[in-house]
Structure 1
Amino acid sequence: MTLHTEQAPEPVRFLSADGTFAPTPAAEPFLARLDSLTDAHHERFYRDMVSVRAFDREATNLQRQGEMALFPPSEGQEGAQVGSAHAARPQDHIFPSYREHVVGMIRGVDPVGILSLMRGVTLGGWDPTDPKNGNFHLYTLVLGSQTLHATGYAMGQLFDGASGTGNVETDEATMVYFGDGSTSEGDVSEALVFAASHQTPQVFFLQNNQWAISVPVSVQSRTPLYLRGAGFGLPSVQIDGNDVLASYAVTSQFLDEARVGQGPRFIEAMTYRMGAHTTSDDPTKYRTNEERAEWGQRDPIVRFEAYLRSRGAAESLFTSAAEDAKDLCADVRARTLALEAPDFPTMFEHVYSEEHPRMREQSDWLTRYEASMTEENR
């Protein structure tokens, strides 16, 4: 039996690995999206990527020092996340997986909120209904389930705009992040079915970082993953996820198209997880040093820095970005170490939007139990 496979064409890319501006043919339809970017935008992209990489390493150190139970690094995926996050509008809703640290930070989430979740002193980390958190929903550690949450929310956005489905313009859109391993989950397929059926104002943003823990993407799928979206009828494209400009341009265009009633879109961002899947993982057991070194030559920060230097960016940008990242890490470390265990009743506070008798019953039982234990220990 012959297995039929299909190779992906060259992805959407504006910056080559050495930072040269050299758009691929696939990038041409998205080229105009870069016209609105100013030097200030470029500076923001760079600073955000540098900051989250420093944050990533600081958080990993905190976990290694016993200050957190777990941490999922995002090093190597900064270009995909920063570009797409800046393409969204304030009113859009973002549904992350559990590695989108810089997306949350861009939307306004305090990074200590992320670490409080990993430290085990909160059930959520931040309140997604608080305007300061930019409609950034909670992390989801159950693979793929956030695609269903996002599709359900996007259906609500659609229904708020009009009765019925299809070709409905809305002022806001939804974007959901997930990984290559999640595409093997039934939840993702179900989300794509409902999104396509209802023509939701939604972008599915797949970060293909090449490994679902220890399973390579070559084993997960015999065809490029962006074809999964196309198979459900979604306009789908593969981008160089280590090119922050490609991530911004395609996401910006797809979100705008979704808002004007053209339905959901699918992006596969080709990137690489430079570190472990989480701090409980040892990638040396299943990856080669040669593979890591090869992807290291495509580093999104190094690439974008070279591009900015070619445009005449001042040296002060790079030195101040490094200093700001250092200050961020010092602040995050100090405030993380100061986090205290929450009071037990807080676990019942946000289960339902309104007070619920079952929650009240359980809270009262816990209060009585704690009181009885206190009496016994006197």
Structure 2
Amino acid sequence: MVQVSFLYPSPSAIPSRLLANRWPGTSSFDSSANTSQEVTMVFFFVVSLVGAYHLALLSFSFARFILSTFLLPGVSLRKYKAVAGKGSPGAGAGAADSSWAIVTGASDGIGAEFAKQLAKKGFNVVLASRTESKLRSLASEIAASSPSVETKVVTIDFATAGAKAEKGWADLKSAAEGLDVGVLVNNVGVSHSMPVPFAETSDAEIDSIVNVNISSLLKVTKLVLPGMQKRRRGLILNLGSFAGQYPTPLLATYSGSKSFLISWSQALGAEQQGLRTGVDVVALNTYFVVSAMSKIRKSSFLVPTPKQYVSSVLGKIGNSGGAGGRPFSATLWPAHAMVDWALANLLPSEGWLLDYSFGQSLSTRKRALRKAERESKAQ
């Protein structure tokens, strides 16, 4: 019989070099298989570590959110008050007749409520806004509910600039001169009359938003901050918006102005902390509140009244609420905090939120245009 073993050579006839690489069942083949298994195991181990790390971060963030929003008390406002006649911190509410708060945009809504609640906590209040009659009415209301508190009224239109604004700014500077200002509430703000593409936004509306939301913020703070630093205590509350934290199409100028507020507040807060001035800066991230600006009249868990909102803020100073991880920022109304935390930690894509916001703004714009058309026909 003719052997055909040359077609199927025995392992002994194959050079060891080739055998090591080609012959099934050799130790080298087993080594390659083991290496592949080891790589797979290492891959899944690394993935597990990364997953565990992110889960731990998420758990920590959620625990911080719960503690800060619902369980931990805020810093007492006594920290920012002066003992009458001494100019030192730590007095009780009744003793702080030399301590002042300045509230911009105080004529109604959130600003008026800040003024009333700060007065009840023993702060004298400078009321600054455009409509003098509303400020006088608020001053009378404060005098009735807090008889020991003093008020000053400053009529100033924050939307104007240049020579037109000089008198208002001079009056505010004169009113604040020599006062022991412990709290500044930069509340004044303005938005678009309705959602509008940036290219169609009027120059007047752009100027108004920039002057009110940015320029006045800087000027009022620059006026008050040196005195706070000198006394080594102070609280600056800057009223922000979700539109600044999460960009909002068709409200581009307003959204950008509130983004500036957040960035500037964080930079200013880091300055005060680094220089150890004793001044605390907080950007308040705020969703909808019942107000003229929001055009919402009925309150709900998601949309508080100004009184509910301000009470929540003043009771939680020093906490971050839903803004945990963002320095010098706070989202303190519980429902707003929930939404903020969820958007920051659970949102799959910021692009999705932009698309959603565009759809919401576009829908609001269409309704506003239809309403304007009906009113025009009715005239």
Answer 1 or 2: higher relative contact order, Cα 8 Å, separation at least 6.
1
Question: TM-score when scaled to structure 1?
Answer: 0.33
